[in-house]
């Protein structure tokens, strides 16, 4: 595990240098360890031209049922998008995309889920600990955006506390 | 390492300090004005700077622009079990420290280390100084096995063993004897697996982690070659999670050794259970019963170390060596299972079995302790009695983390638990159930008391000196950090 992490860190540092060379530095576009995951899977962002149409629209349904529409770049993970777009999901992404928690748990529709690619044992092991696990659940830090996922909907599931809050009448 | 920190800082700063749209809509207007830093700003004190304390603080500060939070911590260093519990070879789990650091550095948050609530300042005094007190001090004690021989040399609580290799000052003199061949661990939760893994990991894996140097030196001399992880019930009741089991299976230079009979009927029973339990059980079955691949077979034949789960066994006595000086074996009662699934219970059959061993680690649970006789405490469950985090019969006092629900759950569990408590506290502020209309002195009501008592708090910037020193020492050792091991040393660096 330590070697994988070290590799991710190394990859992310390389990616960061590429960002610098691209000369578009905003705090929001700095890569995270989850971006490194997408890089390992062959989605590079360093050679993408900086055109505004090179974006993927993602709809998030938050825990209040509100739909929030944002855009991400191919190669971003869904965790990257949540962070870059300042989406305020309580406690999302606690381990910063290193497959050491299940707080970036997202639920998808069947058709989208099928397009998301294979789940590694490593991801499945952490996903198994997520509250409200479904057959179309994934960890957001492991989902890499591609153009074919344009318009995808990702639902942020309730956490344990939400369930108890709604039903509890005690003061 | 530095690049990583900078990246995370900007990301998390954005993640944390944007006010939630939904929270804003739901919030009622408080009785107190909203001007920050007014004498009327609500002041909350949190006891314990581990995950529970920090997540509670984070949620409070994010949700109201006027709340000020002070976190008191017994040790000079923050972060609780993230620093002293999480295994050295699980550094990613410790990434949450970045989030906690953001919280601590927020203008409306202050850290006071080296302050022991209960002896340096009482909870009552905190209640007088703050509008609300949140108890988040976790579980410092152990569940005892309650068997003869438990106090023999060679027997340790997992919490103390983990504290020892993780540099908890109270455990630095543990000096476990690793000269025996077999170690027996009672309990099959993730802590038990962490202990097994640290006992059996190759040195070149461990030496790159933040495990303490004394622990590393002792482990390098270890003669332990076999670790048994013992549970009362069966494979389908095992409490650990699949990631940790997979780590054992993949641990270099080791081979698994299980008892096939323990798995009777399991392959059938596993078909009907939810996916997490199913995958875990299937991994156990595969490891215990399947014919290994050629590659795996080669690994097993070359392995110098052995590990295995043993099921349906409960400790009844630790047997001493002939000179009565130390543990030499453990007597285990043989159980059968009554019922099935998570609720199955272990029933003794009357049979016993003796296992020779020189190291016994009991990993059957941490336990919270009461810190103030005036506060309610449930000794049976070892928690502070509460409803949704509101301490029963004690207005203005709340609890979060393991103290609230008992000592199980990963950091994510504690996070949700703490957010819950913060929400209850905020609700009470909004509704007036918690009176925040009159000004309270906050830390200004506490620091004079501490001064009078000769207690000098460690501020977060002082911790940063300790942090930097540990990282600096780590560089010299090829490790992420070399932890300072005593409170005295920590205070010395903090004060310089």
pLDDT single digits (tens) A103-156: 999 999 999 999 998 899 999 999 999 988 999 999 999 999 999 999 999 999
First-to-last C-alpha distance (Å) of chain B: 25
3-state SS of chain A is: CHHHHHHHHHHHHHHHHHHHHCCCCCHHHCCCHHHHHHHHCCCCCCCCCCCCCCCEEEEEECCCCCEEEEEECCCCEHHHHHHHCCCCCCCCCCCCCCCCCCCCEEEECHHHHHHCCCCCHHHHHHHCCCCCCCCCEEEHHHCECCHHHCCEEEECCCCHHHHHHHHCCCC
Distance from CA of A102 to the nearest CA of B (A): 7
The strand ranges marked E within B29-149 are: 43-47, 68-72, 109-112, 132-135, 141-142
**For B43-140+368-458, which CATH class?**
alpha beta
Kindly identify which residue of chain B lies nearest to residue A62, measuring between CA atoms: B22
Q: How many CA atoms lie within 13 A of A157 on its CB side?
A: 23
CATH, range B142-363: 3.50.50.60
CA angle B447, B452, B454 (to 5 degrees): 90
Instruction: Answer yes or no: pTM beyond 0.95.
Output: no
**Interface contact A5-B91, CB threshold 8 A:** yes
Segment A41-89, tens digit of pLDDT: 776 555 555 555 789 999 999 999 999 999 999 999 999 999 999 998 9
pLDDT at A24: 31
Tell me: is residue B463 an annotated ligand-binding position.
no
- Sequence-distant (≥ 6) Cβ neighbours of residue A71 within 8 angstroms: A55, A56, A57, A58
Closest Cβ–Cβ partner in A103, A160, A165 for B423: A165
Collect all residues of chain A within an 8 Å Cβ-Cβ radius of residue B279. Answer: 124-125, 128
Tell whether the model's pLDDT for residue B399 goes beyond 60: yes
**Rounded to whole angstroms, what are the CA distances from B149 to B154, B225, B316?**
10, 23, 9
Phi-psi region at B114: left, alpha or beta (left = phi > 0; alpha = psi -120 to 50) = left
Name the residue facing A95 among B11, B93, B243 (closest C-beta): B93
* Residues of chain B found within 8 Å of residue A124, distances taken between Cβ atoms: 279
Which of the residue ranges A86-100, B9-23, B212-226 would you say has the lowest mean pLDDT? B9-23
Structure tokens at A9: 């860190």
Q: Is B242 annotated as a binding residue?
A: no
pLDDT of residue B437: 92
Q: Which residues of B touch A13 (CB under 8 A)?
A: 3-4
Mean pLDDT calculated for residue range B404-410: 93
- Measured at the alpha carbon of residue A163, what is the angle toward residues A159 and A167, in degrees to the nearest 5? 165
Q: Give the helix ranges, DSSP H, for B47-155.
A: 51-63, 80-84, 96-105, 123-129
B433 contacts in chain A (CB < 8 Å): 171
Tell me how far apart the alpha carbons of residues B352 and B332 are, in angstroms, rounded to a whole number.
5
Q: Give the minimum alpha-carbon distance from B161 to chain A in angstroms, rounded to a whole number.
A: 22
Please check the confidence at residue B407 and state whether its pLDDT lies above 80: yes
Six-digit token string for B279: 């995958």
Q: DSSP 3-state assignment of B489?
A: helix
Q: How many CB atoms lie within 10 A of CB B92?
A: 20
Report, as an integer, the average pLDDT of B51-71. Answer: 97
Domain-by-domain residue ranges, chain B? 43-140+368-458, 142-363
Please tell me the distance from the alpha carbon of residue A102 to that of residue B356, in angstroms, as a whole number: 40
Taking the C-alpha atoms of residue A34 and residue A77, their distance in angstroms, rounded to an integer, is 6
Rounded to a whole number of angstroms, the CA Rg of chain A reads 16
pLDDT of B7 strictly over 50: no
Closest residue by Cα to residue A28 from A76, A94, A98, A92: A76
Which chain A residues are within 8 Å of B18, Cβ to Cβ? Answer: 86, 88
Interface test with A, best of B1, B11, B57 (most A CBs within 10 A): B11
Contact B419, A161 (CB under 8 A): yes
Q: Are B366 and B383 in contact (CB under 8 A)?
A: no
Alpha-carbon distance of A34 to A41, in angstroms, equals 11
Q: Is B409 annotated as a binding residue?
A: yes
Ordered alpha helix ranges (H), B166-269: 190-200, 203-206, 213-220, 242-249, 266-269
What does the longest C-alpha to C-alpha distance in chain A come to?
Answer: 57
pLDDT of B391 higher than 60: yes
Q: Which residue of B has its CA nearest to A17?
A: B3
Distance CA A132, CA B207 (A): 38
């Amino acid at each position: 595990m330590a070697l994988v992490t070290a590799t991710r860190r190394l990859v992310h540092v390389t990616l960061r240098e590429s960002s610098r060379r691209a000369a578009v530095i905003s705090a929001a576009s700095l890569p995270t360890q989850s971006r490194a995951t997408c890089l390992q899977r062959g989605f590079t962002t360093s050679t993408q031209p900086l055109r505004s149409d090179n974006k993927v629209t993602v709809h998030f349904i938050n825990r209040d049922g509100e739909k929030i529409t944002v855009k991400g770049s191919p190669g971003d993970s869904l965790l990257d998008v949540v962070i870059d777009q300042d989406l305020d999901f309580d406690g999302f992404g606690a381990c910063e995309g290193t497959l050491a928690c299940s707080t970036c748990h997202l639920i998808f529709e069947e058709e989208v889920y099928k397009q998301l690619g294979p789940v590694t044992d490593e991801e499945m092991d952490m996903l198994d600990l997520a509250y409200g696990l479904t057959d179309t659940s994934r960890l957001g830090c492991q989902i890499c955006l591609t153009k074919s996922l344009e318009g995808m909907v990702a639902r942020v599931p309730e956490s344990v506390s939400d369930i108890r809050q709604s039903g509890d009448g005690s003061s | 390492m530095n690049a990583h920190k900078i990246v995370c800082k900007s990301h998390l700063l954005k993640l944390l300090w944007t006010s939630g749209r939904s929270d804003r809509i739901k919030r009622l207007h408080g009785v107190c004005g909203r001007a920050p830093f007014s004498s009327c700003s609500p002041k909350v004190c949190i006891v314990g700077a581990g995950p529970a304390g920090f997540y509670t603080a984070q949620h409070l500060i994010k949700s109201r622009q006027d709340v000020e939070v002070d976190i008191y911590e017994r040790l000079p260093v923050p972060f609780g079990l993230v620093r002293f519990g999480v295994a050295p070879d699980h550094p990613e789990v410790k990434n949450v420290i970045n989030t906690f650091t953001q919280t601590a550095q927020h203008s409306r948050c202050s850290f006071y280390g080296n302050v022991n609530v209960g002896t340096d300042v009482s909870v009552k005094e905190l209640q007088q100084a703050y509008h609300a007190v949140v108890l988040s001090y976790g579980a410092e004690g152990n569940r005892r096995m309650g068997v003869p021989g438990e106090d023999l040399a060679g027997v340790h609580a997992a919490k103390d063993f983990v504290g020892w290799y993780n540099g908890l000052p109270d455990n630095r003199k543990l000096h476990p004897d690793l000269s025996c061949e077999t170690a027996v661990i009672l309990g099959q939760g993730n802590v038990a697996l962490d202990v097994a893994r640290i006992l059996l990991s190759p040195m070149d894996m461990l030496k790159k982690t933040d495990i303490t140097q004394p622990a590393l030196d002792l482990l390098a001399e270890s003669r332990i070659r076999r670790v048994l992880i013992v549970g009362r019930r069966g494979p389908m009741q095992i409490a650990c999670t699949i990631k940790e089991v997979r780590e054992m299976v993949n641990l270099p230079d080791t081979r698994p050794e299980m008892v096939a009979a323990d798995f009777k009927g399991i392959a059938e029973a596993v078909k009907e259970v939810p996916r997490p339990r199913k995958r875990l059980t299937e991994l156990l079955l595969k490891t215990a019963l399947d014919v290994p691949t050629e590659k795996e077979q080669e690994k097993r034949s070359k392995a110098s170390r052995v590990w295995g789960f043993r099921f349906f066994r409960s400790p009844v006595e630790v047997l001493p060596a002939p000179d009565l000086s130390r543990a030499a074996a453990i007597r285990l009662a043989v159980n059968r299972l009554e019922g099935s699934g998570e609720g199955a219970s272990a029933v003794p059959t009357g049979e016993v079995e003796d296992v020779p061993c020189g190291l016994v680690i009991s990993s059957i649970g941490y336990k919270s302790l009461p810190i103030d006789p005036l506060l309610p405490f449930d000794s049976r469950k070892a928690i502070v009695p509460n409803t949704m985090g509101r301490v029963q019969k004690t207005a203005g006092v709340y609890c979060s983390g393991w103290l609230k629900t008992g000592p199980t759950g990963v950091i994510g569990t504690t996070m949700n638990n703490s957010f819950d408590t913060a929400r209850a506290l905020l609700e009470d502020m909004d509704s007036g159930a918690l009176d925040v209309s009159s000004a309270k002195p906050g830390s200004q009501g506490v620091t004079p008391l501490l001064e009078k008592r000769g207690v000098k708090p460690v501020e977060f910037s002082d911790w940063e000196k300790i942090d930097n020193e540990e990282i600096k020492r780590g560089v010299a050792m090829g490790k992420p950090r070399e932890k300072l091991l005593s409170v005295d040393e920590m205070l010395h660096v903090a004060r310089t």
